[in-house]
A and B are shown apart, each in its own frame.
Chain A
Amino acid sequence: MSETELRVSKIKDGTVIDHITGGHALDVVKILGITGKEKGPMTLAINVPSKRFKTKDIVKIEGRELNPQEVHKIALLAPHACINIIRDYKVVKKQEVKLPKVIENIIKCVNPACISNSNEPVKARFYVDCEDPLLLKCHYCGYIMEKKDVLQRF
């Protein structure tokens, strides 16, 4: 290791989210509801060199395994991310995130005039018009949400 390089230590148990689009680690942390006040350590690497993409971000969260719902949330913002579940320093599960064609019940429509935001017995549903840049179309009102709108909902 050169003197200018900083090595990030391995985590014992938890989740490593790798290959996040460069510059989006803070967004990923935000949609996972992490405030920094949690007890376990967390490491963020932002804009580190990547072979696949020019730069990438990495988020390592000690003591928390992501559930499938959370993986879908990450797919909204980081469509190329890879989720590694770590137990006792070993990767026990590796999962590339995949954005489903239809997203149900993960986020609410950003259009305040959308019927799905009112007192109706329905789940918010969106169709993925484009993965990157993200464009989600509301099943009910047809409003097209961008990444910034999605972030606003978390």
Chain B
Amino acid sequence: MEFEGRDIISIKDFSSEEISYIFKTAKNMEPVAAKGSNMLRGKILATLFFEASTRTRLSFESAMHKLGGSAIGFAEAEIASVKKGENLADTVRVVESYADVIALRHPLEGAARLAAEFSKVPIINGGSGAEEHPTQALLDLYTIKKEKGKIDGLKIALVGDLRYGRTVHSLAYALSLYDIELYLVSPETLKMRREVLQTIKEKIEVTERTSLEKIVPLVDVLYVTRIQKERFPDLAEYAKVKGSYKIDLEALKEAKEDLIILHPLPRVDEIAAEVDNTPYARYFQQVWNGIVVRMALLALILGAVK
């Protein structure tokens, strides 16, 4: 299995065997993450975040530091090169001289694919508009595997903004590699994108619903997402659907005892704070899993782990 020098553009570029290998590497990274390591000493990660981010950028940088490497980059939409009118193709051709690997977040869809066509160093997609967020999907899957002990055979619901939410696009593609039943719950206007549906329906059983009530008792995993205000072309449309689904203790009264609730974070009001202390809540564990999965990816891509 060859990972060294590889770009991570889309979760669709991975087979289930490759994902298993990444998870095996991530598991081995758990003690390393606690102690630290010099595995990537002398290596530099550039985080080019053209869009606001807290978790993903810090997670990548933390993962790099824990492996003994260093991180450079920017995290503002209004950065100098963009203000001066530089395009992405030029930016990555400059940054490739400064770094051994680039983690990129960009508001436009297809940005990571374009960057990879121009960059000599590997590109990791840290979120490309509303399109994809493959490393989030890997950490989500890793969390499901770790918490439930398996992925095959599970009933999983993705809830909320399935149209603009890039994490659910990548996660749906990833889940379609497994033997699962998938429930998609969203307002009519925020239904899963056609290109995603078309691909996953060829592989797994998919049920689309607008109401969450009857789905909660059926599922093993509830993956809740924020309605993404920043991606709505029309704020009046946002006002119509915000707060569509609220997960609180009342909504969970029929839930399976061993249900787990995940969320890519940040949340607004879709999961009530009262759920945080229930055994269902696993969204803060996801954050830790994000570190070890990104450590695994960096170590594999930079050839420190074969």
Nearest opposing residue in chain B for A142, CB measure = B195
- Asked if residues B117 and A142 are in contact (CB atoms below 8 Å), the reply is no
- Asked if residues A142 and B114 are in contact (CB atoms below 8 Å), the reply is no
Q: Which residues of B contact A9 (CB under 8 A)?
A: none
Given contact pairs A138-B110, A139-B110, A141-B131, a sample of 10 additional A-B residue pairs in the complex whose CB atoms are under 8 Å apart: A113-B107, A114-B110, A115-B110, A115-B111, A116-B110, A119-B87, A122-B89, A144-B194, A144-B195, A144-B198
Partner of A115, one of B85, B114, B130: B114
Q: A140-B110, A140-B114 are in contact. Are A115 and B195 (CB under 8 A)?
A: no
Q: A113-B129, A143-B195 are in contact. Are A118 and B87 (CB under 8 A)?
A: yes
- Asked if residues B89 and A143 are in contact (CB atoms below 8 Å), the reply is no
B208 within 8 A of partner (CB): no
- Asked if residues A121 and B87 are in contact (CB atoms below 8 Å), the reply is yes
Indicate with 1 or 0, residue by residue over B77-107, a CB within 8 angstroms of chain A CB atoms: 0000000010111000000000000000011
Q: A115-B111, A141-B131 are in contact. Are A122 and B117 (CB under 8 A)?
A: yes
Q: Which residues of B contact A119 (CB under 8 A)?
A: 85, 87
- Asked if residues A122 and B114 are in contact (CB atoms below 8 Å), the reply is yes
Indicate with 1 or 0, residue by residue over B181-197, a CB within 8 angstroms of chain A CB atoms: 00000000000001100
Interface size class of A (residues with CB under 8 A): 10 to 19
Q: Which residues of B contact A121 (CB under 8 A)?
A: 87, 89
Q: A113-B109, A115-B108, A119-B85 are in contact. Are A142 and B194 (CB under 8 A)?
A: no
Task: In the A-B complex, list the 4 residue pairs whose CB atoms are closest, starting with the nearest.
Answer: A140-B110, A141-B109, A141-B110, A115-B110
Partner of A113, one of B85, B108, B194: B108
A 9-42 contacts with B by CB, 8 A: none
A73 within 8 A of partner (CB): no
Q: What is the distance, in angstroms, from A10's C-beta to the closest C-beta of chain B?
A: 45
- Asked if residues A114 and B87 are in contact (CB atoms below 8 Å), the reply is no
Interface size class of B (residues with CB under 8 A): 20 to 34
Nearest opposing residue in chain B for A119, CB measure = B87
Nearest opposing residue in chain A for B113, CB measure = A140
- Asked if residues A143 and B109 are in contact (CB atoms below 8 Å), the reply is yes
CB pairs A–B below 8 angstroms (9 shown): A115-B106, A115-B114, A120-B89, A120-B114, A121-B87, A137-B195, A140-B109, A140-B113, A144-B194
Q: Which residues of A contact B106 (CB under 8 A)?
A: 115
Nearest opposing residue in chain B for A111, CB measure = B109
B 1-39 contacts with A by CB, 8 A: 10
Indicate with 1 or 0, residue by residue over B227-271, a CB within 8 angstroms of chain A CB atoms: 000000000000000000000000000000000000000000000
Q: What is the distance, in angstroms, from B176's C-beta to the closest C-beta of chain A?
A: 15
In whole angstroms, how far apart are the Cα atoms of A142 and B89 in the complex? 19
Q: What is the distance, in angstroms, from A112's C-beta to the closest C-beta of chain B?
A: 9
- Asked if residues A114 and B109 are in contact (CB atoms below 8 Å), the reply is yes
In whole angstroms, how far apart are the Cα atoms of A144 and B197 in the complex? 11
Q: What is the distance, in angstroms, from A54's C-beta to the closest C-beta of chain B?
A: 29
In whole angstroms, how far apart are the Cα atoms of A14 and B114 in the complex? 41
In whole angstroms, how far apart are the Cα atoms of A67 and B144 in the complex? 55
- Asked if residues B109 and A115 are in contact (CB atoms below 8 Å), the reply is yes
A 120-152 contacts with B by CB, 8 A: 120-122, 137-144
In whole angstroms, how far apart are the Cα atoms of A127 and B114 in the complex? 16
Q: Which residues of A contact B109 (CB under 8 A)?
A: 111, 113-115, 140-143
